[in-house]
C-alpha cells in the first residue's frame, strides 16, 4: 500500500508540474520515465522476485555512495534469454531492432522494462543532444562575432551539470524524482548531477513526444525561472530564432549578386544539389558552407567572393549540433532495449569524421570545396576532416533556412548517412578495434580458463624517409583518426607508434595520428593475425 500511495502522489505531482510548465504530453509514460531513476526500477518495482531485484534490495544501502554507482549495471546478471516484458517508449523499426539484437556483444545485454516503469538514461542521452542544439543555435545567432571555439565554450558553460542542477532546483525537480533513496540526503554535487540528468531526460521525452519546438519553449521557461538575464543574453525563442535566422541568410544576398562570377557559381551550386541531393536554396549560404579557412588573400585571386563570414567554421558548429540530435534519435530507435552507455559509444564510433568523410566523398563534395592556393599546392591538409566539416556545414546551412523544423535535414541524413549506420551496426562497426579485440580476448580467456594479458607500449617512430616503411604513418588508411577536436584543422605532422603485447609477446605494431588511433590500428592487425576480419568502411 505505501508503494501505491507513493505512485499516486508522484502521478499527481507530475500532473501539477505539466500544468505549471504549460506542457501537454501525448504519451504520459514518457514524462514519468524522465523522472524515474534506475534504482527505483532495480529495487523490485518491476520484477519483485528476480535475482537482480533481490540483489538491488541488498545493495540499496550504498547505491548512492558515489555518482558512478547511481547508474544501473545489470549486464553481468543477465545471462540467457528473458521474455520481453515491454520496452521503453520509442518508434521501433523492426529491421533495425533485428540488426541490433543479432550483432551486439555480450558486454551490452538488453534491459527489458515496462514502458510504464523505465529508467531515464535513454531519454537523457537524447535530451543531452537536444539541449546542445537549443543552446548552439541560440549562441550562433546571438553571438555573430564569436568564433567556433568561443561558441563551443559558451555551450559548455551553459549546459554543465552545475547550471542544469540550479535550473532544475528552481523548477523543484527534486520533488518529482522516483528513486530508491532519499535525494535530500545526498551531497549537493551528486544531487545536482541527478537533477541535471532529469533535466536532459525531460527534454528528450518532450522531443520524442512533440518535436523540437516545444523543447525550446520549455528551456526558455526554465531559464527564465533560474536566471532571466542569462536567458536574455544566450537564448532565442522559436519566433526569435526564425527571425534571426532569416536576417542571417539575407546578409550576403545583395553583395554576391554584384560578383563577376555569380552566374558561374550558381551553375556550380545547381550541380552540387543535383549530385549530392543536398538542396541549399541560397547560393551565398552554400558558398559559405564549402569555403575552407585557407581560402583568403593572398592565397586566392583578387576577384573571389568572401561573405560576411570567411569560412564554414561557425556554420559547421551549428550543423554538428543538428547532426548530434538526429543521429541520437536514430540510435535510440536502432537500440530499443539498451541504455545510455552503449548509445554513447555507438554514436561516437559511427558518427565521427572518418565516417562522415566517406559519405561526403561518395556524394561528390570534394570537387566543390574552396581551398587556398598554398594548401592545394603543398597538400598538407587532412582532407577527411575537411570533408566531414563541409558535410556538417551544409547541414547547418539547410537548418538555417528551415530553423523551425528538422525535417529537411532528417531527410538528407535518411538518404546519405542512416543507411550506412544500419549497415555499420550489422557489421559491428560501432565497436572500435580496441573494443572488438578486448571482447575476443575476454571470450578466449573464459573458454580457455586462463588469464590473457594485453598491454600497449609506445615505440619510437622512424624517419618517414626510411625506406623500410615498416612504421611509416598513413594519413588515410589503418590508424587514421579524425574524431572531433580543436586541433583537427592543422596539417598532419607528428605520429604516434605503439606495439601490442599479448601474454608478453609482441603481436602487432602500428602508427596513428594519435595514441588511440595507433592502438586501434595495432588491434586491427592483431585481429587479422588471429583470423578475425573486420569490415572496411
Cα–Cα distance, 351 to 270 (Å, whole number): 27
Q: 73: which residues sit within 8 A by CB, 6+ positions away?
A: none
Query: Annotated catalytic, 320?
Result: yes
Pair 202, 127: CB distance under 8 Å: yes
Q: Residue 194: enclosing H or E segment and its boundaries?
A: helix 188-210
Q: What residues form DSSP beta bridges with 509?
A: 499
Cα–Cα distance, 142 to 5 (Å, whole number): 47
Q: Using alpha carbons only, what angle is made at residue 491 by residues 489 and 496, rounded to the nearest 5 degrees?
A: 105
Q: Which three-class secondary structure state does DSSP give residue 500?
A: strand
Q: How many CB atoms lie within 10 A of CB 233?
A: 14
Q: Which three-class secondary structure state does DSSP give residue 410?
A: helix
DSSP character at residue 454: E
Given the residues 392, 478, 481, 520, select the one marked as catalytic. Answer: 392
Pair 347, 331: CB distance under 8 Å: yes
Q: What residues form DSSP beta bridges with 502?
A: 454, 505
Q: Using alpha carbons only, what angle is made at residue 118 by residues 79 and 224, rounded to the nearest 5 degrees?
A: 140
Q: What is the DSSP string of 281-344?
A: S-HHHHHHHTB-TT--TTSS-TT----SSSSSHHHHHHHHHHHHHHHHHHHHHHSTT--HHHHH
Cα–Cα distance, 391 to 386 (Å, whole number): 9
Pair 328, 208: CB distance under 8 Å: no
Q: How many CB atoms lie within 10 A of CB 352?
A: 17
Cα–Cα distance, 475 to 383 (Å, whole number): 9
Q: 216: which residues sit within 8 A by CB, 6+ positions away?
A: 134, 237, 238, 241
Q: How many CB atoms lie within 10 A of CB 421?
A: 22
Q: What is the DSSP string of 206-227?
A: HHHHH-HHHHHHHHHHHHHHH-
Given the residues 320, 329, 384, 478, select the one marked as catalytic. Answer: 320
How many CA atoms within 13 Å lie on the side-chain side of 463?
3
What are the residue numbers of the active site?
320, 392
Amino acid at each position: 500500500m505505501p508503494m501505491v500511495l507513493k505512485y499516486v502522489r508522484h502521478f499527481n505531482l507530475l500532473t501539477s508540474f505539466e500544468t505549471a510548465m504549460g506542457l501537454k504530453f501525448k504519451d504520459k509514460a514518457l514524462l514519468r520515465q524522465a523522472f524515474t531513476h534506475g534504482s527505483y526500477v532495480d529495487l523490485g518495482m518491476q520484477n519483485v522476485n528476480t535475482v537482480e531485484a533481490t540483489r538491488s534490495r541488498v545493495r540499496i544501502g550504498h547505491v548512492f555512495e558515489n555518482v558512478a554507482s547511481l547508474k544501473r549495471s545489470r549486464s553481468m546478471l543477465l545471462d540467457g534469454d528473458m521474455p520481453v516484458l515491454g520496452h521503453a517508449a520509442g518508434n521501433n523499426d523492426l529491421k533495425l531492432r533485428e540488426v541490433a539484437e543479432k550483432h551486439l556483444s555480450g558486454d551490452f545485454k538488453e534491459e527489458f522494462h515496462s514502458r510504464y516503469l523505465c529508467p531515464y538514461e535513454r531519454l537523457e542521452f537524447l535530451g543531452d543532444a537536444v539541449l546542445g542544439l537549443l543552446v548552439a543555435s541560440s549562441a550562433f545567432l546571438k553571438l555573430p562575432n564569436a568564433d567556433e571555439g568561443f561558441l563551443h565554450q559558451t555551450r559548455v558553460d551553459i549546459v554543465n551539470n552545475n547550471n542544469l542542477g540550479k535550473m532544475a532546483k528552481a523548477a523543484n525537480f527534486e520533488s518529482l524524482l522516483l528513486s530508491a533513496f532519499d535525494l535530500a540526503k545526498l551531497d549537493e554535487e551528486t544531487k545536482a548531477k541527478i537533477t541535471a540528468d532529469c533535466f536532459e531526460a525531460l527534454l528528450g521525452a518532450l522531443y520524442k513526444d512533440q518535436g523540437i519546438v516545444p523543447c525550446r519553449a520549455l528551456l526558455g521557461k526554465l531559464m527564465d525561472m533560474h536566471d532571466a538575464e542569462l536567458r536574455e543574453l544566450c537564448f532565442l525563442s522559436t519566433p526569435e530564432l526564425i527571425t534571426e535566422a532569416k536576417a542571417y541568410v539575407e546578409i550576403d544576398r545583395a553583395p554576391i549578386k554584384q560578383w563577376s562570377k555569380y552566374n558561374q557559381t550558381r551553375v556550380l551550386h545547381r550541380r552540387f544539389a543535383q549530385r549530392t541531393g543536398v538542396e541549399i536554396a541560397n547560393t551565398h549560404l552554400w558558398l559559405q558552407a564549402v569555403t575552407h579557412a585557407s581560402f583568403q588573400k593572398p592565397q586566392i585571386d583578387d576577384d573571389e567572393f568572401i561573405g560576411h563570414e570567411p569560412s564554414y567554421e561557425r556554420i559547421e558548429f551549428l550543423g554538428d549540433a543538428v547532426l548530434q540530435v538526429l543521429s541520437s534519435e536514430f540510435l535510440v530507435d536502432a537500440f530499443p532495449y539498451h541504455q545510455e552507455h552503449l548509445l554513447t559509444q555507438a554514436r561516437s564510433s559511427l558518427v565521427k569524421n572518418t565516417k562522415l568523410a566517406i559519405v561526403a566523398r561518395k556524394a561528390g563534395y570534394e570537387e566543390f570545396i574552396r581551398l587556398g592556393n598554398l594548401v592545394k599546392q603543398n597538400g598538407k591538409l587532412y582532407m577527411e576532416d575537411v570533408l566531414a566539416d563541409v558535410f556538417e556545414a551544409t547541414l547547418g546551412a539547410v537548418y538555417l533556412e528551415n530553423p523551425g523544423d528538422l525535417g529537411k535535414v532528417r531527410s538528407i541524413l535518411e538518404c546519405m548517412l542512416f543507411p550506412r549506420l544500419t549497415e555499420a551496426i550489422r557489421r559491428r562497426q560501432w565497436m572500435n578495434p580496441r573494443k572488438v579485440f578486448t571482447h575476443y580476448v575476454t571470450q578466449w580467456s573464459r573458454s580457455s580458463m586462463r588469464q590473457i594479458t594485453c598491454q600497449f607500449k609506445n615505440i619510437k617512430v622512424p624517419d618517414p624517409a626510411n625506406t623500410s616503411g615498416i612504421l611509416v604513418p598513413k594519413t588515410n588508411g589503418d590508424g587514421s583518426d579524425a574524431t572531433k577536436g580543436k586541433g583537427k584543422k592543422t596539417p598532419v605532422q607528428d605520429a604516434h607508434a605503439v606495439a601490442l603485447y599479448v601474454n608478453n609477446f609482441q603481436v602487432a605494431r602500428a602508427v596513428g595520428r594519435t595514441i588511440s588511433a595507433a592502438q586501434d590500428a595495432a588491434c586491427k592487425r592483431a585481429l587479422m593475425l588471429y583470423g578475425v576480419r573486420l569490415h572496411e568502411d
